[in-house]
Amino acid sequence: MIARCSLALAALLGLASAVGAQTYTAPGPRGPMAVVGTQPASVSSAPVTTTVRVLFDRAVDLASVDAASFRVFGRHSGAARGAYALIAGGLGVEFTPDDDFSAGEVVWVNLARTIRGLDGTRLRAAGYAFQFGTEVQPSGGSFTQYAVLSNNHGEQTRIYGAAGTDLNHDGYPDLTTVNEVSADLRVFLNLADGTGNYGPFLPPEPIGDEASPNATADFDNDGDADICAAASSSEDVWILLGSGDGSFGPAQSISVGQEPHGIAALDVDGDADFDIVNCNNASNNLSLMLNDGSGVFGPPSFFDGGVDGEYGLAAGDMDHDGIADLVVAGRDGSHVRTLRGNGNGTFTPAGAAQGSGGQTWVVTLGDVDGDGDLDASTANSTSGTAGILKNTGTGVFKPVSTVTIGAHTVSTDLGDLDGDGDLDWAVSSFGGGFWRFYRNDGSGSFAFWFHVTAPSNPSCAILLDTDNDGDLDLALTDEIADVVVLMKNN
């Protein structure tokens, strides 16, 4: 599917370029403007130096394209800024970033419904969204511990996890820990000297009690990375807007349902800004908070996640319609289910819920079998298992394939750790006191690879390029030892 999309777009670009600059008008009825191709293709892999191209079915009015209507955000590199130009005889737009993306990251592209053609028509009301990954350099896939970061000054913080996103525009991913007991965020700035080392954490940023998973995005479109997290004890979602130097401005907190956990940032309504959805386990539902475009969020609306005991959450385009969807994991019922985005802030279940292999805490997305569809991985808590669910291409999952971890399993992460072009698998076991890694054979079948013993009890693994050498390194969080173990890819 990726190859077909890329070849089709390349052919269209070549044909349109031969027509001439911004004089071509596609024949046919003038319905809403439509996206007919992208480079990189959705759910594909591209060099860190890539430009982003979008081809439309009619000539584009470049005056309608800017950093508000054509947004690009990398999970590790943060908000991308750059130049927009017409290509393909005016039928396409090319975005050239000012800086490279980070190796092995997921990049979101959100297009607003305000983009218009020279004929005055606009993109559909749902806008258009897609994501792609960035390539990593081949490596042997062996790792050496090179540093341990302390997350406290003697007090307990209990690291739930961390975000590996560049907060200060130096081109290196920083680490922001999310802490349950100290109820705060703590930022470690990358020294940006190519060593992968980090300075001591900055003054803590207070958030709610027992904060759980996080998501990063540029919520206010100022070019700085922001963060949101759900706090299960205080039963609220916290949004902190980055200042561009590693610190954050005053937080916004929004009361949601009971025992909130999983959280995702995505555009649900076609305006290109990132909205927020979170799981409420005890309330057995999801909360949606709409962004007004300035990073201020409205009160939550609640809807059913289609599983029992919503706990884990991830976002991605599961059916290739250019609208972001949700994948919801239910801890109590041991199921996952795709909710297809309708582009207007509502969602529709995609088929029946599929068994997840256990009581799922965390779900993550990635194309594990190279077919161009986003698949799911699950961490199944006290069931002591982890699972892989392959997507049929419609958002409906095939039956789960599980591995036995044998102890409380709290996190799952996907990334190309050996640079062979497929996603490998990292599983964190709090109860077992280890991180376990599985190598992908390219078809989505995984074999045990290596094992890292934790100082105490792991909470998650962040797969990121700490030293900007083009391969993925490891930042491993231990929530009882209150440390981040850094391991370099050799």
CA 263 – CA 260 distance, rounded (Å): 8
- Prediction pTM value: 0.95
Q: What is residue 202's DSSP assignment?
A: P
| pLDDT tens column, 76-87 | 999 999 999 999
**243 and 185 in one domain?**
yes
Same domain, 126 and 198: no
Model confidence over 457-471: pLDDT tens digits?
Answer: 999 999 999 999 999
pLDDT tens-digit readout, 333-362: 999 999 999 999 999 999 999 999 999 999
Cα 363 from Cα 185, distance rounded (Å): 22
For 283-326, write each residue's pLDDT tens digit.
999 999 999 999 999 999 999 999 999 999 999 999 999 999 99
Shared domain for 222 and 84, answered yes or no, is no
Q: What's the confidence (pLDDT) of residue 141? A: 87
Q: Tokens 């959805």 label which residue? A: 277
Domain hosting 115: range is: 35-134
pLDDT at 140: 87
Same domain, 212 and 118: no
Mean residue pLDDT of the chain comes to 95
* pLDDT band with cut points at 50, 70 and 90 for residue 15: very low
Check residue 17 and give its pLDDT.
43
Are 149 and 162 contacting, i.e. CB atoms less than 8 angstroms apart?
Answer: no
pLDDT of residue 22: 33
Q: Are 221 and 68 in contact (CB under 8 A)?
A: yes
- Residue keyed to tokens 């289609």: 306
CB 213 within 8 A of CB 160: yes
In this prediction, what percent of the chain has a pLDDT beyond 90?
Answer: 93
- 114 and 248 assigned to the same domain: no
Q: Which residues pair with 264 in a beta bridge?
A: 277
SS (H, E, C) 154-165: CCCCCEEEEECC
Q: pLDDT tens for residues 368-417?
A: 999 999 999 999 999 999 999 999 999 999 999 999 999 999 999 999 99
CB 443 within 8 A of CB 388: no
Residue type, 102: S
Cβ proximity of 373 and 393 under 8 Å? yes
206 inside domain: yes
What pLDDT is stored for residue 29 in this prediction? 55
Per-residue model confidence as pLDDT tens digits over 36-77:
999 999 999 999 999 999 999 999 999 999 999 999 999 999
Return d(Cα 254, Cα 241) in angstroms, integer. 14
Report how far apart the first and last C-alpha atoms of the chain are (Å, whole number): 33
User: Domain ends where: 134, 160, 188?
Assistant: 134
**C-alpha triplet 182, 330, 262: angle, nearest 5°:** 35
The total of structural domains in the chain comes to 2
Question: Cα-flanking dihedrals φ and ψ of residue 308, to 5°?
Answer: -100, 115
**The token pair that represents 183 in the structure block:** 């109820």
CB atoms within 10 A of CB 346: 14
C-alpha 136/C-alpha 103 separation (Å) is: 5
**Scanning the structure block, which residue is given the tokens 């007919």?**
36
Local confidence band at 27 (pLDDT 50, 70, 90 cut-offs): very low
Q: Which two tokens stand for residue 374?
A: 């986003």
Q: How far apart are CA 20 and CA 42, in angstroms?
A: 27
Task: Please tell me the predicted confidence (pLDDT) of residue 212.
Answer: 86
Same domain, 196 and 69: no
DSSP label at residue 193: S
Where residue 202 sits, what CATH number does that domain have? 2.130.10.10
Identify whether 40 is preceded by a cis peptide bond (ω within 30 of 0): yes
CB 48 within 8 A of CB 134: yes
Which of 101, 134, 167 is at the close of a domain? 134
Shared domain check, 314 and 187: yes
214 with 318, same domain? yes
Same domain, 114 and 150: no
pLDDT tier at 13, thresholds 50, 70, 90: low
Residue 23 has a pLDDT of 33
